[in-house]
Every structure is written in structure tokens, then in C-alpha cells.
Amino acid sequence: MSVPPELAGLSAPKGAMWRALRTVVTGYEKVSSFSGRGRPPVRAVARERLMTVNDVRPEAHGVVSLRLVPVDQRELPAWLPGAHLDLVLPSGRIRQYSLCGDPTERACFRIAVRRIADGAGGSIEVHDTLRPGTVVRVRGPRNAFPFIPVARYLFVAGGIGITPIRPMVHDAIRRGTDWSLVYTGRTRASMPFLTEFAELPAGRVHICPDDEFGVPDGKSVLAAAPDGAALYCCGPPAMIATIRAEIPAENVATLHYERFSAPPVVGGTAFEIQLARTGVLVAVRAEQSALAAVRAVLPDIAYSCRQGFCGTCSVRVLGGAVEHRDRCLTDAERIDAMAICVSRGSGRIVLDL
């Protein structure tokens, strides 16, 4: 069984098992599970460090991986599969990327980024401006997609969704657990780390590019699961929706997923935001986030995850009632602040913008 040297030493995560806890991060929705009492902290103070881009490597069509090393050459903090970094780009944009290397490698972090031509500009900046020797600011790592130690897994990855799944697979290999991987993408050329996974046992790895096999349906994906598996899935919204439609399933014990977009607004009602610094009134539609509405007036407003995890879009509230839907602010912080990517107002609220 071929395991890349950089992933050969993965160790199993420790701590409580997870059940029925929803967390969100970095533009993805993550559903995990928790069997202990209470809940883990959803936000920790993340130290910011300067790191140098040590290597930029093409991994697939439109995908590059970056090896980041600390400027001060100090040992990096430990992390577990599912963790991510906040990458502060030279422009000031903040983007979050899953760690896809070896958690036991304490001299560097590794991430992979797909270029999204019609995105908000972060991935384009990574591809066009980050070169070996470029110094960037990095926060984290943090983990809101915890990898639970169980006996059986089904891993499902869509395209760049392989990044958090990669260290999980190799951890399962190291521990000798039962596992299967379904890896999808538009074409083989678009699927990062494909050669590496193609070298693993064919009975466990199912490589299914859309142009060869069509878009997989949920039933065929779940058929690859060992009985009683924990299903870890990362990919685009359509893939996640297809799989969720088949849950509960007899052979899947728990579902853990992340998706590459902000979640839809559920149960929203229209309200207004008054921007205190200019007096401008911004109408927020029932199906629209406050962030999206404000960006139409203030396009340079800071944001990152769009799912209430990172706190980048937190804004001071000067008046009005807020419905808090975030997982980043403390109760004390919510007294006079809100994360406008997910939280909403009632009637009219006044923001310090």
C-alpha cells in the first residue's frame, strides 16, 4: 500500500467522540457529531505568524499546492485532519484553506488552492501573486471538521474537496481501519493528488470523473460504504445535497460534511440596515444575507467564511434587535456586535459602518 512519505506518520485524533453537532467554517458547512457533554469551543484566539511560500507546485488543471514555512523557523503547532488555516493575502483578503499535508510535519504547512475565475478574487490572487519567497500572514490552524476515531469510514471528495480528506484517508491507512474512498471531479485532469490515490488498492478507491462515468448519484456513492461507516464528505453543494438525500442509510452511522459555498438563508425575513456613518438605508431581502446586501453598497467590507465561523465580518451594532446565527462571537460580544454573514436583524438595525 503506497503512502506518501509526508503522510506516513499520521496519528489518530484523541478526545471525545462526536455526534449531532453542527459547526461551520471557511465557506463550507460542516456537520459533525459529539457524544460528550457540552460542546467544544467554536473559536479560539488564533496566533498570527509570518510564513514564507517555500514551494508552489501544480497538482491538477487550475490547482496549485503551497508549502508554507515559518519566517522565524520555530516549530509549528500540532494539528489534526480536518484543520484549516486563515491565509491573509497581500491585498488584505482573508481566505481559509484546509491543511492537506502531514500533521506530524512541524516545519511547514501545506495547502492546495483551485483557481476560481468568477470568484471573489482570493484564489486568483494566490495563483497570480504568490511565488517562492513571498511572505504572507497566517492564522491558525483551527479545526471545525473534526476527524473521529472509528473502525470504518467512507470518504467522499469532489474535486478540490480532496484537501481535508487526504490526511484523513492516510490516517485511516496508518491505523489499519476499514475504509473506502469515492473521488469525483469533472475530469481526471482537474482532480488534485489523483496519481497518489490511484496507487492505493483499487478495491478501496473509486475514481469517478464525471466525463467518464457521469455525475454520481447518492445511492451509488453510499454503496461503497463499509457497514456502519462514518461518512466524511467534502465537495460542491450539489454533491452534498445528493448524498444527504440518501441519509439515513443502513450502512452509514454518521454523516460529516463540508461544502464550498455559503449556506442558503433559512427562515429569513426582510429587514433594513442603517449605515451609521453615512445614513444610507440598505434593504435586506428575506433570502439574502446581511453581508450580501451591505456589499452592494460597501464592496470592500471585510469577510471570509460567510458561514459565521471566522468572525472577520463582525460589525458593531449601534441599535436594533439582532437574531444571532453565528458560531464565532461570545455571548458578551453579541451584546453590541453581529456577524453579518449569517446573523439577521428585526425591523431596522443600525451598524457602525
According to CATH, where is 3.40.50.80 located in the chain? 5-12+150-259
pTM of the model: 0.76
Q: Residue 165: what are its φ and ψ, rounded to 5°?
A: -75, -30
Kindly state the percentage of the chain with pLDDT values over 90: 69
Looking at residues 334-349, what average pLDDT do you find?
A: 96
CATH 2.40.30.10 for the 48-143 domain, yes or no: yes
According to CATH, where is 3.10.20.30 located in the chain? 271-351
pLDDT classification of 31: cutoffs 50, 70, 90: very low
- pLDDT reported for residue 18: 29
Here the cell at position 114 is 483551485
Chain segment 101-138, per-residue pLDDT in tens: 999 899 999 999 999 988 778 899 999 999 999 999 99
According to CATH, where is 2.40.30.10 located in the chain? 48-143
pLDDT at 19 over 80: no
| Whether 328 contacts 310, CB under 8 Å | yes
- pLDDT reported for residue 304: 73
- pLDDT reported for residue 131: 97
Kindly state the percentage of the chain with pLDDT values over 70: 86
pLDDT at 16 over 50: no
Cα(44)–Cα(144) distance, integer angstroms: 11
Tell me which DSSP letter residue 36 carries. S
Residue 162: C-alpha distances to residues 147, 197, 249 (Å): 14, 10, 23
- pLDDT reported for residue 261: 66
Domain 5-12+150-259 is in which class? alpha beta
pLDDT at 21 over 70: no
Chain segment 243-288, per-residue pLDDT in tens: 999 999 999 999 998 776 677 888 899 999 999 999 999 999 999 9
pLDDT classification of 46: cutoffs 50, 70, 90: low
- pLDDT reported for residue 264: 80
Q: Which residue has the cell 488564533?
A: 46
221-233 b/e with 16+ CB inside 10 Å = b?
A: bbebbbeebbbbb
Looking at residues 130-147, what average pLDDT do you find?
A: 92
pLDDT classification of 325: cutoffs 50, 70, 90: very high
Chain segment 216-227, per-residue pLDDT in tens: 899 999 999 999
Q: Could you list the beta-strand ranges (E) of 189-294.
A: 205-209, 229-235, 252-259, 271-275, 281-284
Taking all residues of the chain, what is their mean pLDDT, rounded to a whole number? Answer: 85
Q: Which residue has the higher pLDDT, 108 or 22?
A: 108
Chain segment 180-201, per-residue pLDDT in tens: 999 999 999 999 999 999 999 8
Q: Which residue has the higher pLDDT, 84 or 12?
A: 84
CATH 3.10.20.30 for the 271-351 domain, yes or no: yes
- pLDDT reported for residue 81: 95
Amino acid found at 112: A
